[in-house]
Amino acid sequence: MSVINISGVTKKFGNTVALDHVDLTIEPNKIYGLLGRNGAGKTTLLNLITNRIFPNEGDIRIGGEEVFENEKALSKVFYMMEEDLYPKNDKVIEMYKWTKEFFPEFDMEYAISLSEKFGLNVKKRIKQLSTGYNSIFKGIIALSVNTEIVILDEPILGLDANHREMFYREIINNYSHNPRTIIISTHLIEEVSDVLEEAIVIKDGKVILKKSVEELLSTAYTVAGELSKVDQYVMGKEVIGEQVMGKFKTVTVLENTNKKNHNLAKELDLEFGKVELQKLFINLTNS
């Protein structure tokens, strides 16, 4: 299976630096969350990986081969874009057949089965689909192509809570039967956190963090209590977020918990808490 290697990549749009000397390795057979605020550089990075735009500096390789005008390397990737590029007058089933021509490993039987599961009428034209069902349609194609790398950019746009949960379960089910690299770019971080193995966080065009979700969540915690005692506890520690309500204060601390920390918190009558991925992401990108 193919590794994605990104080395020293910079992308500028005029005087705006969208990505700034990014170095990143994406290992095969993992589910990644690509996380960042609007304008952080997520979609730019995905467009560079899939050769839709070109870097000003640096090198991008898939399976050791440069992606620039390299059909062999690019054939290993399927990119489900937020933007809708499918012909509006064509029917869903026609698009499945069309995809099969370009991706011979496309699983038509699975696509039809998923369509029935999600209640998608394959005889409908693309222009007749709601925003949610358009996302379902594109998601079904992405999960059915069987490429080594699947990229999902805001895959649950317009889906209701039930369909979002169904789609997340289907990603896990699909991955368990066909392990491969799946990259999910989304702003609904808490919803997708149980699906992800690794998190990549982009801020201001730079990759500021790449860790397993389990490891990431273990490197931070919250501590809450009387304001003065919390301030005493966090002296010398890296605080990445805080909230004050009167004399009560809650802070997010970026470090692993240990027995010494627990003993000090107990002495000061403070409460420890776990950090949710979304809250940790907000604190990291705001700090």
Strands (E), the chain: 4-13, 16-26, 31-35, 57-62, 65-66, 77-80, 149-153, 181-185, 198-203, 206-212, 220-226, 239-245, 248-254, 271-273
In this structure, are 28 and 162 located in the same domain?
Answer: yes
Percentage with pLDDT > 70 across the chain: 99
Residues 127-161: tens digit of each pLDDT: 999 999 999 999 999 999 999 999 999 998 899 99
Domain that holds residue 135: 4-215
Task: For 11-27, write each residue's pLDDT tens digit.
Answer: 999 999 999 999 999 99
Same domain, 131 and 199: yes
Domain endpoint, select from 215, 233, 257: 215
pLDDT above 80: residue 287 = no
pLDDT for the residue 84? 75
Look at residue 164 in the predicted model and tell me its pLDDT.
94
Q: What is the pLDDT of residue 98?
A: 94
Domain boundary among 215, 245, 266: 215
Sign of CA dihedral 100, 105, 109, 113: negative
d(C-alpha 261, C-alpha 241), whole Å = 18
**Residue 176: pLDDT band with limits 50, 70, 90:** very high
Work out how many domains the chain is built from and give that number.
2
Region of residue 172 (left: phi > 0; alpha: psi -120 to 50; beta: else): alpha
- Identify the top-confidence range among 75-89, 137-151, 213-227, 273-287: 137-151
**Quick one: 46 and 168 in the same domain?**
yes
In whole angstroms, give the CA distance from residue 263 to residue 260: 5
pLDDT digits (tens, 9 = 90+) for 84-114: 778 899 999 999 999 999 999 999 999 999 9
CATH code where residue 246 lies: 3.30.70.2020
Of 215, 234, 261, the one marking the end of a domain is: 215
pTM of the complete model: 0.90
- In this structure, the answer to whether residues 59 and 185 fall within a common structural domain is yes
Higher-pLDDT residue of 127 and 265 is 127
Do residue 158 and residue 226 come from a single domain?
Answer: no
pLDDT of 52 higher than 70: yes
